[in-house]
């Protein structure tokens, strides 16, 4: 990797000696090991990106190496100070004087345009700011001890650095929805337009003409045979007609779920207005007809507001329509109202139901279990998005989540943009045939008749859980 980037001529020592060509891969690995020892998540992937960046840029000076390393090895503003300290330790011999200015790079926002490595430093080995032959490796302990024992290094003033090295898009992808400001939430809507919500199609009892269909269309075959003297030259076939399933979204807008509700309602708004055909891995799915409801202490239908001009307008109208926004949580009562007025009357029959809630139930958990059992019997698939499942210590063993758990087909976290991939995959996954869960008399609140044994309690199912919860916990049998 040393050919074609000018390292051979750039590595001349002060006394006129010439060192062997620099191995860019070893340079990247040495810097990655030092940064990882100092506490930064500098893995092999970042070392590879650094080596590629140095090769593509043709870096031959310390300033260019510093720019490449800063762009590839740092992903958060809080990591910049540690990066600067480790980089200064490794290349201290090449930085004998105070820093000089460095031009800002396009696409980066910085609080200062200075860098601790000047490209025109005359005392750097081999000429103005050129790369040293072999960096010396440091770890966290050695860097701390050297900073305490070297008085010259202690007297050096603190050097301001680039505070925002990752682009806004990359930072938004990994940030929790709770940490997003209103401006960042608007930027997130642009990223959400790249996502596609799809659900499995619904088979109907009707057929449509298709050349590779499995059913013989006798009527059309005989009708075409009249054109050829009664001889059935062309055999007409039919295939089952499929139609899009309905997607029912029940979103918790209580105080603990308010930030997540805004982001996920914005996702539903963007997805409902998306156009175009499905392609690639979505070829077996269809775009859903979406119905959106919110609940905290009461149920509110927000489907008419999905026709708003912008996501901000939709969220504003939703806040006005839902008087219980950021209030308490009564999941069981809201599900009972949905089942009585919408679900049991046909809206949820054969639909994919998405429940967005953290499972905090202030009412009776037995009511929630009974209503989930009703919904389970008529819905095609139930997906629960719980942001608390991102933690490996989460256990759905108490409260409302424990009562609802046996009736869910999948549990996802959906706490940031990157976790939305798991949510979309759970929505378009086909349902697994399973026996209907029958609530016990204790969970439904109805006593069993005397002399007659009540129905057995539902057994928890094995859910396809994503995130840390999938590796640390599974439902008890």
Residue pLDDT, tens place only, 192-251 = 888 889 899 888 888 889 888 889 999 999 999 999 988 888 899 999 888 888 999 999
Q: pLDDT grade, residue 433 (50/70/90)?
A: low
CATH architecture of structural domain 173-199+244-472: 3-Layer(aba) Sandwich (3.40)
Looking at the DSSP bridge assignments, the partners of residue 355 are: 250, 384
Could you give the maximum distance between any two Cα atoms of the chain, in Å? 106
Residue 103 has pLDDT above 60, yes or no: no
Query: Which has more pLDDT, 335 or 363?
Result: 335
Q: Please give the average per-residue pLDDT across 423-446, as a whole number.
A: 65
Burial class (CB in 10 A: 0-12, 13-18, 19+), 258: middle
Locate the domains of the chain by residue range: 7-164, 173-199+244-472, 207-242
pLDDT recorded at residue 459: 41
Q: Please give the average per-residue pLDDT across 367-384, as a whole number.
A: 94
Beta strands per DSSP E along 76-159:
100-101, 114-115
Q: 294: helix, coil or strand?
A: strand
Q: Which residue has the tokens 């549990």?
A: 411
β-sheet with 299-301: strand ranges across = 299-301, 289-295, 246-252, 352-356, 381-385, 410-412
In this prediction the pTM is 0.57
pLDDT recorded at residue 21: 57
pLDDT recorded at residue 444: 41
The torsion defined by the Cα of 388, 389, 393 and 399, in degrees rounded to 10, comes to: 70
pLDDT recorded at residue 393: 87
In the numeric block, which tokens belong to residue 208? 């449509």
Residue pLDDT, tens place only, 136-182 = 444 444 444 444 444 444 444 443 333 343 456 777 888 899 988 88
How far apart CA 38 and CA 29 sit, in angstroms, is: 14
């Amino acid at each position: 990797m040393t050919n074609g980037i000018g390292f051979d001529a750039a590595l001349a020592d002060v006394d006129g000696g010439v060192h062997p060509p620099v191995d860019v891969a070893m340079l990247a690995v040495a810097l990655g090991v030092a940064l990882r020892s100092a506490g930064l998540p500098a893995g092999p992937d970042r070392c590879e990106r650094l080596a590629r960046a140095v090769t593509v840029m043709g870096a031959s000076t310390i300033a260019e190496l510093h720019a490449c390393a800063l762009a590839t090895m740092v992903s958060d503003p809080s990591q910049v100070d540690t990066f600067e300290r480790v980089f200064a330790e490794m290349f201290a011999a090449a930085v004998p004087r105070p820093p000089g200015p460095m031009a800002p790079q396009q696409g980066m926002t910085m609080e200062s345009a200075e860098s601790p490595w000047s490209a025109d430093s005359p005392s750097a080995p081999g000429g103005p700011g050129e790369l040293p032959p072999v960096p010396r490796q440091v770890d966290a302990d050695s860097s701390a001890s050297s900073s305490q024992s070297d008085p010259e290094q202690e007297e050096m003033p603190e050097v301001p650095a680039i505070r925002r090295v990752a682009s806004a898009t990359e930072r938004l992808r990994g940030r929790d929805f709770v940490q997003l400001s209103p401006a960042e939430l608007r930027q997130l809507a642009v990223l959400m337009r790249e996502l596609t919500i799809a659900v499995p199609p619904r088979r109907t009892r009707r057929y449509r003409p298709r050349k590779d269909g499995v059913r013989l269309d006798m009527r059309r075959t005989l009708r075409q045979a009249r054109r050829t003297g009664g001889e059935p030259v062309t055999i007409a076939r039919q295939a089952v007609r499929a139609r899009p399933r309905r997607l029912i979204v029940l979103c918790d807008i209580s105080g603990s779920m308010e930030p997540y509700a805004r982001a996920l309602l914005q996702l539903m708004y963007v997805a409902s207005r998306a156009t175009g055909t499905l392609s690639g891995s979505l070829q077996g799915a269809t775009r859903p007809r979406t119905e959106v409801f919110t609940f905290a202490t009461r149920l509110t239908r927000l489907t008419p507001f999905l026709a708003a001009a912008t996501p901000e307008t939709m969220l504003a109208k939703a806040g006005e329509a839902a008087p219980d926004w950021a209030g308490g949580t009564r999941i069981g009562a809201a599900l009972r109202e949905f089942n009585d007025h919408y679900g049991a009357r046909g809206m949820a029959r054969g639909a994919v139901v998405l429940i967005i809630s953290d499972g905090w139930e202030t009412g009776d958990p037995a009511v929630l279990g009974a209503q989930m059992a009703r919904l389970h019997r008529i819905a095609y698939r139930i997906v629960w998005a719980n942001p608390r499942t991102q933690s490996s210590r989460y256990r759905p063993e108490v409260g409302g989540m424990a009562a609802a758990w046996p009736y869910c087909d999948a549990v996802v976290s959906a706490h940031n943009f990157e976790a939305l991939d798991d949510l979309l995959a759970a929505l378009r996954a086909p349902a697994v045939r399973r026996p209907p869960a029958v609530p016990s008399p204790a969970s439904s609140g109805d006593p069993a008749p005397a002399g007659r044994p009540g129905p057995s309690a539902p057994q928890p199912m094995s859910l396809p859980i994503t995130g840390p919860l999938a590796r640390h916990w599974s439902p008890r049998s």
